[in-house]
Structures are given as C-alpha cells and as structure tokens.
A = this chain, B = another copy of it.
C-alpha cells in the first residue's frame, strides 16, 4: 500500500485530517460544519459511551431525555449563559414547507412562523432546570442525578472533524442538590471519573484543575477541567465539570424546603464529555502509519491475516485461524479474521496499521508446521514468533501491556514537554518555539491573563494538585502563590 498519510512533521493538521478520512472514522457532510461519523469511528464512540455510562450508573446516575428545542425566552434567564451561547445558536423559526408556486421546488411556508423561536440546544441547563422546577419541592426530592446522551449544536465558522463541529454528540450530566457542599463534591467526583476514564481507558494523561474566571462555563461558579497534551505540543480540554451554584435555580425559580423547614434555592452541577475525545485519542497516540488505539477502546483488538501462496496451502491456515479466533472470542477479546482473497497480506498489514488495530497475527504454512504464529504490536511495531499454544492468555496480557505502554508513552511525552518558566521570555520561548505546557506564576489578575491571551495561548487551568510555591508572576512580576498551566490549545 502506498503512503497514504501526510507525515506529522510535514503538516500536523493535514496529517490529522488525512488520518481521520483514510482510516474511515469520519468525513465532512454536505451540511456546513457537520460531519458523518462512519461505522469505524462510531464503534469507538460506542466503546467510550458504554464505559462512561457504566461509570455514571455505578455512581448512582440515571439517564433521561429532554427536548432538542429550547424556547428563546428560556435562554435569556441566566445572563451569563445567554451571553456565552447566543452567538452560536441554530434557530428554528418555521414548522412547514410548501410548494414554491413561483420558482418551483419547495420553500418555507411564511404562514407557518413560530410565535416564539426555538433554539437547537447548545447545552441543556435551561430546558432541564425548567423541568426540575416541577420535580423538586423538598430536600426529600434531592439529589437528582441525571445524565443525558444527546446531540447538540453550536454554530462554528471554522470546523475540524471531531475537534470542532457544528453538531456533536455528547453526554451532559445535570444534578440538583440540597447543599453547596454536596454539589461541589459531585462536580469534583465527576471530574475524577472523567480523569479516570481518560487515563485508564483512552490512555491519555490529564492535569485536573479549575478554570480562571474568564475561561469558565457561561453560568458556572466554578469549572473543573481536564487538560491533555497533544503530540504537536498543544493542549486539549478533555472534559469539564461545573459547579453552578444556585444560578440556574434562581433563573428558573427552583426552591425547596430544606431539613430546617426553610425555603432555599437548589444547588446544581453539570458536566460533559463529547465526540471531540475521539479527536484527542487520535492526536495523542497516532503516528505516520496511522491510528494507534489503546486496546480498551479499539473496535477490533486483534486481526488475523493468513499468509499463503497456492490454494492448497490455505485450508489448514483457515482452520487454524478459525480456531484461534474462537479461542480469543471466548476470552472476551474482539477479533477479526480477514479471509478476503481480494487483497494481499502486505496491503492488509498496512490497512490494519492505518486503522490502529493493537495486535496483528500472521499465520503461514511454516506456522502450521511448527505450531507457531507471528504477533505484531501496533504501538511499538515489534514482531515476535510465539507458540500457538496458550495464545489467548498471552494476548490478554499483551493487550494489557499495550494499554499501559500507550499511557506511559503519552505521560513521558507530556513530562518532556512540560516546562517550568520563570519570566516572560521563557514563557514565549515555550509558547512560540518549544510547545507544550508552561508552568508559570500568575498574579491572578485579569490584566495579566489578557496579556497572556495576546500570545494566542491561554491559562488552561489552576492545577488541583499544584504545590504551594511562592514566586513572581511572569507577566507583572507581582507575587504569586502557585503556578498555573499555560498553553496554546485546540
């Protein structure tokens, strides 16, 4: 197979786009900014969704479904919220088409104009809190721990497959609590679940922290974030969890009788993770040969490719392959036997490297004679010949090792690309030349933050596990009690 990808070194953005298209994950649709998630990409999303869903349910959350549409007036209720989303809203104004008597074809029926326009949800706090109002009277109705799997729309002018699309898929958790403490605890718990998922399942190390005032979610009191580092040295926000205080309860007048018998507003959180994480998965691990998928999220974990010349060599290989396939499937490993005779082994090898299948088994006549098989790891591209005997156990442990190796490698990359900087010049050196995370002192003022933003970088977060350390702000020279993470970001 000919080289199908632009190399990372040549053009990282082009490499990414090539990879998404050529590996069959997704493509652009005829609708501006909206993508088609193809079966291979959707299979990855299903794995991510199932794992997150399991984690949500294990922590007491239930799924529900709220309307796609939000009445325009709901939007204005929470002032910061509308400010944050008004400029990227798709608006439904009519509910009928009719024949275009003048021009032919069809046209919007002007008589079917809605009294109040409907916004396609960019996020569902407003429609959900309008429902919660009817569900909550007393502390006995709390907490409400609900999650929703849905599509949302945020109109974007410059889009990129998975990373920034007008429509995307996500989950959004919306919880209601009787006390401030409980809501903060919930927001932090979900940030913890996201971190566990991103590190253990997707193999991407994250720094958890809080957003600055100017970077937090529109309507939140505090936004917890997970920041991951991509191979081009740019940061990617991997998920956010918001403590919303009583902002939405006030906006939608959701009060409850507390244990002391007094009326109070309900405390809230919301938290979301999106199909964008597929983009993160690609950019964190893949190489110039194609995707590198951690085994836990790989739709196909093992592929078996038969190697043979004459037609008489094939039957014993096929028989052996089917036996191995069954053995692996019985052990819960997802395996594919590629028995197509329309493609040569070399073509198939390149194809499965492109698709990031973690392990490849090649099986030829000599293997049949000697009771062996050839194993190739996608992460290291190493090959070894091993006994066919006991292959399921060997592969199970190898998949675990690959999962861990991919994480270790990403962690090493992040450590090598995280730089403590002590002044403005050092900061610029990281942002403009070296790339990666800069750990810098910041005086906490929006003036200094604005100055940083002029470099096109942002304060990604105030790390939660950051040590206390006195120093001087890299912008103002004023005293600072801790370092923050600064980087250019997706």
Interface residues of A, Cβ cutoff 8 Å to B:
27, 29-31, 34-39, 41-43, 45-46, 62-76, 82, 86-99, 105-106, 108, 117-120, 127, 130-131, 134, 140, 146, 150-151, 153, 155, 167, 169, 342
Contact residue among B27, B69, B131 (Cβ-Cβ distance under 8 Å from A167): B69
If A39-B64, A67-B167 touch, whether A98 touches B86 (CB-CB below 8 Å) is yes
A275's closest neighbor in chain B, by CB? B65
Inter-chain pairs besides A68-B151, A87-B98, A140-B342, 13 sampled, C-beta below 8 Å = A27-B134, A29-B66, A30-B130, A34-B68, A36-B65, A41-B64, A45-B65, A65-B169, A68-B153, A88-B96, A89-B95, A91-B97, A93-B108
A89 & B97 in contact (Cβ 8 Å cutoff): yes
B106 & A86 in contact (Cβ 8 Å cutoff): yes
B94 & A87 in contact (Cβ 8 Å cutoff): no
Cα distance, A167 to B91, chains bound together (Å): 16
If A72-B97, A76-B105, A97-B75 touch, whether A42 touches B29 (CB-CB below 8 Å) is no
Cα distance, A89 to B98, chains bound together (Å): 10
If A97-B89, A151-B151 touch, whether A43 touches B31 (CB-CB below 8 Å) is no
A127 & B31 in contact (Cβ 8 Å cutoff): yes
A30 & B74 in contact (Cβ 8 Å cutoff): yes
A105's closest neighbor in chain B, by CB? B76
A106's closest neighbor in chain B, by CB? B76
A31 & B69 in contact (Cβ 8 Å cutoff): yes
Can you name 30 A-B pairs with beta carbons within 8 Å?
A: A29-B66, A29-B67, A29-B131, A30-B131, A31-B70, A31-B118, A34-B67, A34-B68, A34-B69, A35-B67, A38-B64, A39-B63, A46-B63, A68-B120, A72-B106, A75-B106, A82-B97, A82-B106, A86-B96, A87-B96, A87-B97, A88-B96, A90-B92, A90-B94, A90-B95, A91-B93, A92-B92, A95-B155, A96-B155, A120-B120
A140's closest neighbor in chain B, by CB? B342
CB distance from A451 to the nearest CB of B (A): 28
Cα distance, A64 to B65, chains bound together (Å): 20
CB distance from A211 to the nearest CB of B (A): 24
CB distance from A135 to the nearest CB of B (A): 9
Cα distance, A55 to B67, chains bound together (Å): 28
A62 & B42 in contact (Cβ 8 Å cutoff): yes
**A37 CB contacts on chain B under 8 angstroms:** 64-65
**A108 CB contacts on chain B under 8 angstroms:** 72, 91, 93, 117
**A97 CB contacts on chain B under 8 angstroms:** 72, 75, 82, 86-87, 89, 91, 119
Q: Top 7 A-B pairs ranked by shortest CB distance?
A: A34-B67, A39-B62, A86-B97, A37-B65, A95-B155, A91-B94, A93-B93
Cα distance, A36 to B43, chains bound together (Å): 28
Cα distance, A88 to B98, chains bound together (Å): 10
Q: Which of A36, A86, A140 has the most CB of B within 10 A?
A: A36
CB distance from A297 to the nearest CB of B (A): 16
**A88 CB contacts on chain B under 8 angstroms:** 95-96
Cα distance, A153 to B96, chains bound together (Å): 12
Cα distance, A88 to B112, chains bound together (Å): 10
